Amino acid sequence: SQTIHQWPATLVQPVGSPLSLECTVEGTSNPNLYWYRQAAGRGLQLLFYSVGIGQISSEVPQNLSASRPQDRQFILSSKKLLLSDSGFYLCAWSASPYFAGELFFGEGSRLTVL
């Protein structure tokens, strides 16, 4: 069966520090991968998605970036965090190559920027 792992689960970082959140998927090949952000009390905002290794589409221009160095690994990064980067970050995958279909989410990473 397929599983998705996301870490760290919680993170407290000072403003201006770097960020690296990792996500890996097991049990499937060539998944579509996604990073969403959920601010407190709000919906899910799509940040990045990837349909293959090295292929990243950005939905929201900001100080975050994403990379997909391996088929089942998706990394969210920042060189310098802002206060507004605080939130709940969710990695997700889907099997369909043509449309999102059902998304399977990880348990999330809660980031607090102080």
Partner 1 sequence: GESVGLHLPTLSVQEGDNSIINCAYSNSASDYFIWYKQESGKGPQFIIDIRSNMDKRQGQRVTVLLNKTVKHLSLQIAATQPGDSAVYFCAENIRGTALIFGKGTTLSVSS
Q: How far is the CB of 16 from partner 1 (least distance, A)?
A: 27
Query: Is residue 61 within the footprint of partner 1 (CB under 8 A)?
Result: no
Token output for 7: 């870490």
Identify whether the C-beta of residue 35 lies closer than 8 Å to the C-beta of residue 44: no
Strands 73-78 and 55-58: unpaired
Query: Distance between alpha carbon 31 and the CA centroid of its chain, in Å?
Result: 14
- The residue range among 17-25, 45-53, 61-69, 70-78 that interacts with partner 1, by the rule CB under 8 A, is 45-53
**Which 74-93 residues touch partner 1, going by CB under 8 A?**
90, 92
The residues that bridge with 37 in the sheet, in sequence order, are 45, 89
Q: Which residues bind partner 1 (CB under 8 A)?
A: 32, 34, 36, 42-46, 49, 51, 57, 59, 90, 92, 98-108, 110
